[in-house]
Structure formats: C-alpha cells, structure tokens
C-alpha cells in the first residue's frame, strides 16, 4: 500500500468484511498532484511491519511499486459466481478447504489463458431467487437472496475475447463445479444487461461437497481466523502462487477472500482458518515473529516460518525445477488473529449503492458520511433493540470499490448489510415490495443530505436492493 502522505491525493479504495472482521485498503499519491516528485524504488530487502493498533482496528503501512505494463480493458472480462454452501449459517473447516481449493482452480484457469485475475470475493450474494406457483409466470415472484452466502465471485480479464475462449473457461469451471457439487453462474453479457445479471450454468441441490466427506473433523466449525494481505505489482499468476502454497498445508483453509487491483497494484486479502490453533496462541507466536528484525516480508517466507512455529507440516511436493513465483516480491501484512464469530447471513438484506464525485481529497468519506446521516433519518430506531439505535448505527459495509477515472471523477459502488427487521417500517401493503420502498426512501434522503452539505460534485446517487438496478457507470 502506498504511504499516506500529508496532503496527498486520494486515488482508489477497496473494502471487504466477513466473519466479524473487515479490511480497508486505500491508495494515495505521495504528494499532491501539482507537487509530484520522482522517487527511486527501493529494491533492497524489506521486513514485515507490525500493525499499529487504533480504536477501530489495526493499520498497516508499506510502500509498493506498481507495474506500469499491467494494462487491461475492464469491459473485456469473464465474470462468474460459484455457490459452495448457500444454506450454511456458520463456517466449518470443510468450507475453508473448499474455498481454498476453488480459488486455486479459478486462478489456474486464468493462468492457462494468460489472463490476469481481476477480482475475487467471498462470501458473495447469490442471484435473485425466482419463485412461481406451478410454473405459472403470472405468479412470478422475485425474492432477494441472502446478503452474503458461502460463494466465490470472480472476474478474469480476457486477452482473447472470442466466443471460443469464453466457452473454454466456462466449460472448465462447469466441470469443476459438477465434480464438487457446486452451483455456477456466469455474468449475462447481452446488451442492456448490467453487472448483477446472471445466467445459471448448473444447479446443485446438495449442501456438502462429496470431495470433503472423508474427514469428520472437517465438518467442525472453525475457531480461529487469521487475516493476511499481500500487496505487490499486479501481474498474472500472483494469486495462484499464493493459494498453491497454502494448499500444501492440509490444516489451513480460506474462509474469506477479497482480491482487486488498485492503481496497478494487486491486493490479495485472505482470512485463513488454522485447525486446532487458538487465536491467543496464534497471536502470541505471530507477535514474536513480527517483532524480530529478521522477519521476512515475502508471502511464502513469512507464512512458511509462521506455520513452522505453529507446528504445521506441509505435504511433500514433487522434486524438480521450481517455477518462477509471480508473488516473490510482494509485501505481507498478517494478523492479528481473532476468534470466529458466527454471522447470521440469512438475517441481513443487501442494499447496493453507487455514486460519482469530482476528484478531491474527500472523494470517499463525503458521500458515505451523507449516506449514514440519511440512514439515521430514514429509520431512527430499530424495533426489538434494547437501546435506541438507528439504521446508520447497525448497517455495515460488506463490500466497497471506489476508483478514480481519467475524467477527474471518482466512482464508487458498495454493498451494505442491513437487518431485515428494517423492512417492518415499510411493510404498508400494496404491490411495491418493502425493500423497494426502503431503497427509494434512502436514495431521496441521501440526495437531500448531499444537497445540504458543503461538498460539490456529487452525482449519480443510486440505492437499490438489486445490483443490476444501480447507475450505468458502476464497477464490479
């Protein structure tokens, strides 16, 4: 992550939250645009920096150097969504193994096509649930899927945008999903179909992958989560290299992930589950490791040393010449670990938002400040709460992407998790769903807050309970 300099200019940000913890990653220029200076890269050895505690969490700071040759056209992508266990109410050890193995297969599919893996997200929202009575379309009813399910959403940049290449990718992943018993959707790329429209490729009725039935221990609930983030020049194969290394350790799973590129830098954030290791012991060993002067910062070296001190042994690998590691120069940010807190996924409603603002220092916080003030006015008190709390106090950001464009405009898109009890305020009967009434009221209140604020250049404000209903200029 680029160093935060006083008076520096905001560029881009990505945010992800799951299992009771979240990560916010931002990039800034070293100095204001009008005072930019040339800085030489430091190619010498670097060590992992320990986190700095704050009231809201921990902050990691480090410099990373972008790869200026990494260029892709965002419109030329292959986007997919794989459901692992949609009905799960808590995360088990087998989920971590399945997400880890699935992520590796997705990254490998991108590598074989010589294409970069652009985005990676888990958990993710599944497509809208459509119900009919006796297949009568006149009784068609659409229901919002749970806000977050055990599913992996990804997008791959295509150098070859031919139909044959798309079929090759979809067939490979389709075969994988049928083998594991997973469901699979691909993004609908027909004209006028925006992000959030999906085409179902295969449907899975089971909830437990037949490939993870061998070990009864894998069915136990996870106990510890270790957040780790890897940052470095965006290049093909870096995610695959990191996850392939993790796959050598049978006790280590991935229970949440978020990957994206910001300003030509790749960020791969993983929540690792380590079977049989308590959070207290993990933090004690990790703290001692990060406090040493010789602590390595490179992903494989840091993880290998950490796992070795935890007593985890890797599976043997075939001898032979080792392939180049695309993530060999990445920086690693690890911990602190925390005890897993079950998240009741079906009890939250996903509310999608998007906005646009003229590029300025407050490109991220200004629109969101107005949004949270609007939520507090739309729903001032939630029913069933012991203490008076507004919607603005309980709504959480589960996913956010904010990018600066060449037109001096910053565009943002986010998914909020709000308690379904909020819908009681809007269940007044009629044909319009309560979720739609909530979104309309929130969008109007948001626009009003922006107009009353002193922030200029905010526009294209949209609130919807379906991702595909957001404004036209939104990012995946």
Distance of CA 308 to the CA centre of its chain: 28
pLDDT at 309 over 60: yes
pLDDT confidence tier of residue 85, bands split at 50, 70 and 90? confident
The pLDDT value recorded for residue 228 is 92
Digit-coded pLDDT (tens) for 109-125: 888 877 788 889 999 99
Query: Reduced to 3 states, what is the DSSP secondary structure of residue 66?
Result: coil
Mean pLDDT, range 349-373, rounded to an integer: 84
Q: What is the pTM of this model?
A: 0.84
Region at 371 (left for phi over 0; alpha for psi -120 to 50; beta for the rest): alpha
What's the pLDDT band for 51 if we cut at 50, 70, 90?
low
Strand partners, 332: 230
Question: Residue 336: is the preceding peptide bond cis (ω within 30°)?
Answer: yes
CATH of 10-70+222-339, one of 3.40.50.720, 3.90.550.10, 3.30.70.260, 1.10.287.3510: 3.30.70.260
Peptide bond into 274 cis (omega under 30): no
Question: Per-domain residue ranges for the chain?
Answer: 10-70+222-339, 77-212, 345-469
What is the pLDDT of the chain when averaged over all its residues? 79
Q: Which residue has the higher pLDDT, 167 or 30?
A: 167
Q: Do domains 10-70+222-339 and 77-212 have the same CATH topology?
A: yes
Q: What is the pLDDT of residue 61?
A: 62
Q: Which CATH number fits domain 345-469: 3.30.70.260, 3.40.1190.20, 3.40.640.10, 2.40.70.10?
A: 3.30.70.260
To which H or E segment does residue 172 belong? helix 163-180
In the chain, the largest separation of any two C-alpha atoms, in whole Å, equals 69
Q: What percent of the chain has pLDDT over 90?
A: 21
Kindly report, residue by residue over 370-409, the tens digit of the pLDDT.
999 999 998 888 766 567 788 888 888 889 888 877 667 8
pLDDT at 3 over 60: no
Please give the pLDDT value at position 38: 38
Type and span of the H or E element at 246: helix 238-246
Mean pLDDT, residues 145-170: 86
Q: Is the pLDDT of residue 281 over 90?
A: yes
pLDDT at 43: 46
Report d(CA 280, CA 80) in Å as an integer.
Answer: 37
Of 50-59, 196-205, 206-215, the least confident? 206-215
Question: Are 13 and 25 contacting, i.e. CB atoms less than 8 angstroms apart?
Answer: yes
Q: ∠ CA(52), CA(37), CA(66), 5° rounding?
A: 60
Write down the architecture of domain 77-212 according to CATH.
Answer: 2-Layer Sandwich (3.30)
Which spans in 386-452 are helix H? 391-394, 434-452
Over residues 181-204, mean pLDDT: 84
Least trusted range by pLDDT, from 174-183, 185-194, 418-427 = 185-194
Which tokens in the block code for residue 304? 């290998």
Residue 62 pLDDT greater than 80, yes or no: no
Q: Which of 286-290, 301-305, 327-331, 362-366 has the lowest mean pLDDT?
A: 362-366
Q: What are the tokens at 132? A: 């009919």
- Looking at the chain, the whole-number percentage of residues with pLDDT higher than 70 is 78
């Amino acid at each position: 992550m680029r160093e935060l300099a006083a008076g520096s200019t905001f560029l881009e940000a990505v945010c992800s939250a799951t299992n009771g913890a979240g990560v916010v990653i931002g990039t800034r220029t070293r100095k204001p645009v009008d005072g930019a200076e040339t800085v030489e890269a430091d190619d010498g050895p670097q060590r992992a920096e320990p986190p700095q505690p704050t009231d809201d969490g921990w902050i990691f700071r480090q410099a990373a150097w972008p790869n200026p040759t990494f260029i892709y056209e965002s419109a030329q992508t292959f986007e997919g969504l794989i459901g692992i266990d949609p009905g799960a109410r808590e995360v088990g050890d087998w989920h971590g193994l399945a997400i880890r193995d699935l992520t590796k297969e997705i990254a490998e599919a991108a590598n074989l096509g010589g294409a970069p893996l652009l985005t990676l997200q888990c958990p993710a929202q599944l497509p809208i649930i459509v119900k009919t009575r006796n297949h009568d379309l006149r009784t068609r009813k659409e229901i919002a899927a749970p806000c977050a399910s055990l599913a992996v959403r990804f997008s791959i940049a295509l150098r070859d945008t031919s139909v044959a290449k798309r079929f090759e990718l979809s067939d490979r992943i389709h075969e994988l999903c049928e083998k594991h018993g997973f469901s699979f959707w691909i993004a609908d790329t027909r004209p006028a179909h925006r992000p959030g429209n999906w085409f179902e490729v295969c449907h899975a009725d089971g909830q437990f992958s037949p490939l993870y039935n061998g070990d009864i221990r894998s069915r136990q609930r996870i106990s510890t989560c270790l957040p780790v983030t890897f940052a470095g020049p965006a290049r093909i194969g870096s995610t695959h290299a990191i996850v392939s290394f993790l796959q050598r350790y049978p006790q280590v799973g991935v229970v949440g992930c978020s990957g994206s590129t910001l300003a030509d830098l790749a960020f791969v954030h993983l929540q690792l589950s380590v079977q049989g290791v308590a959070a207290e012991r993990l933090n004690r060993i990790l703290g001692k490791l990060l406090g040493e002067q010789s602590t390595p910062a490179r992903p494989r070296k840091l993880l290998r040393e950490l796992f070795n001190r935890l007593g985890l042994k890797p599976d043997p690998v075939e001898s032979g010449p080792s392939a180049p590691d695309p993530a060999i120069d990445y920086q690693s940010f690890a911990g602190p670990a925390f005890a897993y807190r079950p998240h009741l996924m079906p009890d939250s409603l996903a509310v999608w938002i998007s906005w646009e603002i003229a590029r300025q220092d407050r490109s991220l916080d200004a629109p969101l400040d107005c949004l949270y003030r609007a939520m507090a006015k739309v729903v001032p008190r939630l029913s069933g709460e012991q203490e008076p709390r507004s919607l603005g106090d309980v709504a959480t950001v589960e996913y956010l992407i904010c990018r600066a464009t060449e037109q001096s405009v910053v565009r943002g898109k986010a998914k909020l998790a709000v308690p379904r009890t909020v819908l009681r305020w809007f269940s007044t009967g009629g044909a319009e769903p309560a979720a739609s009434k909530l979104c309309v009221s929130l969008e109007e209140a948001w626009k009003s807050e922006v107009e009353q604020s002193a922030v200029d250049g905010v526009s294209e404000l949209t609130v919807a309970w379906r991702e595909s209903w957001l404004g036209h200029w939104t990012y995946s």
